[in-house]
Structures are given as structure tokens and as C-alpha cells.
Amino acid sequence: QVQLQESGPGLVKPSETLSLTCTVSGGSIRNYYWSWIRQPPGKGLEWIGYIYYTGSTKYNPSLKSRVTISVDTSKNQFSLRLSSVTAADTAVYYCARGSIGYSDIWGQGTMVTVSS
């Protein structure tokens, strides 16, 4: 079955760029939307954005100026870059597969802490 796995640094310094990769196994990255969603400690879910396998993207307006999501179909991976991070970006980051308005398969999540 399809599985998603997030990878990347667990600690990022303020003002630097957070970079995460999601590796898709057990299925193709084609024909789906691939999202990043985050959850600050003790809080709710926040949609960051999605990329279609063709490269088309949509971002949360509140994060749009700092976010880039890209896809590498040859590696069955997609990635998140969030620039100029602050403590408010500390969260568990999830990658997920789905369509517009829902995600049916999620990664286990990776905790990213922004601290000097």
C-alpha cells in the first residue's frame, strides 16, 4: 500500500529556511495532489499548500510569500521549503496524498522546532 515518509532537520534556526522532503513508496506520485499540513504543539491543523504531480501549486495565503512546494516525479518525492522561519513555525509537519479538499493518506509527521 502507499506510504509517505517525511524527512528533514528537526531543528532550524530563526530566520533560516525549513526544508522537508516527503518520499512516496508503494505507488506512483502521478495523478494525485500532494499536500503539506502542519500542527503546532497542542493546536489544530493548518494547510500549507499542495502540488499536483504536473507541478501546479496552491499555497495558504498567510504563508504564500515564504512557501515553495516542488515535486520530483523521477524520485517519487515532493518537498517543502519555508523561508524566514520564526518560533511560530514550530510544529509537526505532515505530508499527505489526496485531492482538493481532502487527504486520504498521511505520513507519520515530523516535528520541526525553530530555535537558536
Partner 1 sequence: QSVLTQPPSVSAAPGQKVTLSCSGSSSNIGSNYVSWYQQLPGTAPKLLISENNKRPSGIPDRFSGSKSGTSATLGITGLQTGDEADYYCETWDSSLSAAVFGGGTKLTVL
Q: Using CB under 8 A as the criterion, which residues of the chain lie in contact with partner 1 when the complex forms?
A: 35, 44-47, 50, 58-61, 94, 98-104, 106-109
Q: What nine digits make up the cell of 102?
A: 481532502
* Distance in angstroms (rounded) separating the CA atoms of residues 26 and 115: 35
Nearest approach in angstroms of CB 15 to partner 1 is 25
Q: In the complex with partner 1, which residue's Cβ is closer, 8 or 16?
A: 8
* Distance in angstroms (rounded) separating the CA atoms of residues 109 and 91: 10
* Distance in angstroms (rounded) separating the CA atoms of residues 4 and 25: 6
Nearest approach in angstroms of CB 78 to partner 1 is 16
Nearest approach in angstroms of CB 30 to partner 1 is 20
